[in-house]
Amino acid sequence: MAQDVATGQGTDPRHHRTFFGHPWGLATLFTTEMWERFSYYGMRALLVLYLTAPHSEGGLGFSKSAATAIYSVYVSMVYLLTLPGGWVADRVWGPRKTVAVAGGVIMVGHFLLALPATGSFFAGLVFIALGSGLLKANISTMVGHLYNGPTDPRRDGGFTVFYMGINVGAFFAPLVIGTVGQKVNWHLGFALAGIGMGIGLAIYLFGMRTLSPHSSIVSTPLSEAERRSVLRKGLFWLAVAAVFYGIVAGTGHFTLNWATIPLTVIGLVFPAWTLLRIKRDRDLSTLESQKMTGYIWFFVAAAIFWMIYDQGGSTLNIFAQDNTANSLAGVHFPSSWFQSLNPLYIMALGPVFAWLWQWLAARNREPQTSTKFAIGLVLVGLSFAVFLGALAAASGGTKVTPLWLCAVYLIQTVGELCLSPVGLSVTTKLAPEKYGSQMMGVWFLAVTAGDCVTSLATTAGADLNSRGYVLAEVALALLAAAAILLNRRKIHGYLGEVH
């Protein structure tokens, strides 16, 4: 296919069309991501509810703590696998092919969930986690490839449009998949998620020609010797795991903890090891090493934030099912609909916050990065303080008004808008030159670490719906915010020119 030398785009007629003033390839990536998020958030809205539903209602009958551990490990692995997902694109297939493979793997995973067998269900979770890691690491990269470098004035707007696709898919998913799963059949709901991913994959394959040729490049391809080495090591560790778990299962000792605890430990140890490895790299300059010290403060704060925030799909989802009156103003709805609140709030408030930071910056009053992180932590702690009120109101089996959870999710979303976009930005600013392309994956490891803490707590027997544990999480968030504020001068001393 011929290429336009000026833009690097192909001469496919669609390159001469625009999508809200952006390259037509953005339409391909927007709709692909929208349908992928539709499948992911639809399945996620059902996951804990299906795991805890009794066998008589078609569920798996797990305890709430076991279901929360499974959910937390699953979400943590999705984010952990973004690092190897980026590596596969850089060294083996390139982003374009990697995303195509990822879409197929995710679709197969959802259809495995749709089969009425416990074994296929957990295999499906593995497929979805693997595929999501491959896709999440690369589809955003391809959005950047559509523009003529970081200085292209359309670039930020393109990512904003792309981000809206994520939230559109996430908003509609619980309304459709959640309703079918809860009201008709669990497995039909999971099948709808697979169909959604199939639609997204078809759109992607059809529109691949609209993407930048740069998305097909394998930036640092493996040599033949490296390929053999990677394959040999991969097969070796796969064989070790197969033999080990074969012995455990064969001797009748296998329980769910044999799967969740090792993954939880990996999810805690790997982020710590990654940060330490980068911090101690002798190739880093003194300034880069200092910046990494400051970044660790933000990373730990983010892990605490996500530990609480991600319970929206587990702890709060279970509370919505068991303790909330699922009707408002005479309208009855499934409990999974609460999962649509966050993307709805994001779409409504995201532009407001983008304007607010610019308005404050123009008046030299924009809060520093550490202050924004502290605000995010205070708000996520406040959200669970409100949840404490909901737990008190629900004592004695009372079904509480949905407004409790509406308030919890609203406060969490405002906290997310204070911390998450800022975290992405500061990650790119503080990234050492040697690790410029890897640091975004490192940022996602904060989600992995936070969710693994939740999994470890539930595995140890903590009741995440108990007032004592929720109060402890409120206290942890507020203490972390206080630590950030009290040490903000020290932290910003590490950041150099970055503010």
Most confident of 98-107, 207-216, 247-256: 98-107
Same domain (yes/no): 246, 263: no
Same domain (yes/no): 278, 356: yes
What pLDDT does residue 203 have?
A: 95
pLDDT digits (tens, 9 = 90+) for 56-103: 999 999 999 999 999 999 999 999 998 888 888 888 898 999 999 999
**Residue with the two structure tokens 């490990």:** 73
At 120, the amino acid letter reads S
**Contact between 402 and 328 (Cβ < 8 Å):** yes
Percent of the chain with pLDDT over 90: 58
Residue 46 has pLDDT above 90, yes or no: yes
pLDDT grade for 498, boundaries at 50, 70 and 90 = low
23/27 Cα distance (integer angstroms): 8
pLDDT digits (tens, 9 = 90+) for 425-467: 788 788 887 776 678 788 889 999 999 999 999 988 888 888 9
What pLDDT does residue 351 have?
A: 87
Residue 13 has pLDDT above 60, yes or no: no
Same domain (yes/no): 182, 314: no
What pLDDT does residue 131 have?
A: 95
60/275 Cα distance (integer angstroms): 38
What pLDDT does residue 8 have?
A: 43
What pLDDT does residue 256 have?
A: 80
327/11 Cα distance (integer angstroms): 53
Same domain (yes/no): 299, 248: no
> Which residue has better confidence, 299 or 442?
299
pLDDT digits (tens, 9 = 90+) for 215-237: 888 888 888 998 899 999 989 99
446/33 Cα distance (integer angstroms): 22
Same domain (yes/no): 185, 267: no
Same domain (yes/no): 353, 406: yes
Report the range of poorest mean pLDDT among 51-55, 380-384, 390-394, 495-499: 495-499
Same domain (yes/no): 265, 246: no
pLDDT digits (tens, 9 = 90+) for 324-373: 998 887 888 999 999 999 999 999 998 888 888 888 888 888 888 899 99
What pLDDT does residue 150 have?
A: 62
Same domain (yes/no): 228, 305: no
179/336 Cα distance (integer angstroms): 7
Return mean pLDDT, the chain. Answer: 89
Distances (CA, A) of 231 to 227, 236, 277: 6, 8, 24
18/9 Cα distance (integer angstroms): 13
Question: SS3 letters for the chain?
Answer: CCECCCCCCECCHHHHCEECCEECHHHHHHHHHHHHHHHHHHHHHHHHHHHHCCHHHCCCCCCHHHHHHHHHHHHHHHHHCHHHHHHHHHHHHCHHHHHHHHHHHHHHHHHHHCCCCHHHHHHHHHHHHHHHHHHHHHHHHHHHHCCCCCCCCCHHHHHHHHHHHHHHHHHHHHHHHHHHHHHCCHHHHHHHHHHHHHHHHHHHHHHHHHCCHHHHCCCCCCCHHHHHHHHHHHHHHHHHHHHHHHHHHHCCCCCCHHHHHHHHHHHHHHHHHHHHHHHCCCCCCHHHHHHHHHHHHHHHHHHHHHHHHHHHHCHHHHHHHHHECCEECCEECCHHHHHHHHHHHHHHHHHHHHHHHHHHHHCCCCCCHHHHHHHHHHHHHHHHHHHHHHHHHCHHHCCECCHHHHHHHHHHHHHHHHHHHHHHHHHHHHCCHHHCCCHHHHHHHHHHHHHHHHHHHHHCCCCCCCHHHHHHHHHHHHHHHHHHHHCHHHHHHHCCCCC
What pLDDT does residue 428 have?
A: 77
Q: Is the pTM of this model over 0.85?
A: yes
What pLDDT does residue 90 have?
A: 85
Same domain (yes/no): 473, 493: yes
Of 221, 236, 271, the last residue of a domain is 221
Contacts of 373 (CB under 8 A, 6+ apart): 298, 301, 302, 418, 419, 422, 423, 481, 484
Q: Which two tokens stand for residue 49?
A: 């509810």
Read off the pLDDT of each residue in 175-197 and give the average, rounded to a whole number. Answer: 95
Same domain (yes/no): 186, 274: no
What pLDDT does residue 156 have?
A: 66
Report the first-to-last Cα separation within the chain, whole angstroms: 45
State the CATH number of the domain containing residue 285: 1.20.1250.20
> Which residue has better confidence, 229 or 257?
229
pLDDT digits (tens, 9 = 90+) for 376-421: 999 999 999 999 999 999 988 889 999 999 999 999 999 999 998 8
Phi, psi values for residue 226, rounded to 5°: -65, -40
Residue 246 has pLDDT above 80, yes or no: yes
CA angle 79, 85, 88 (to 5 degrees): 165
What pLDDT does residue 75 have?
A: 93
> Which residue has better confidence, 26 or 436?
26
Strands 331-332 and 327-328: antiparallel
Same domain (yes/no): 165, 272: no
Read off the pLDDT of each residue in 120-124 and give the average, rounded to a whole number. Answer: 93
Q: Which domain holds residue 247?
A: 224-253
Same domain (yes/no): 232, 185: no
Instruction: Please state the domain count of the chain.
Output: 3
pLDDT grade for 11, boundaries at 50, 70 and 90 = very low
366/359 Cα distance (integer angstroms): 8
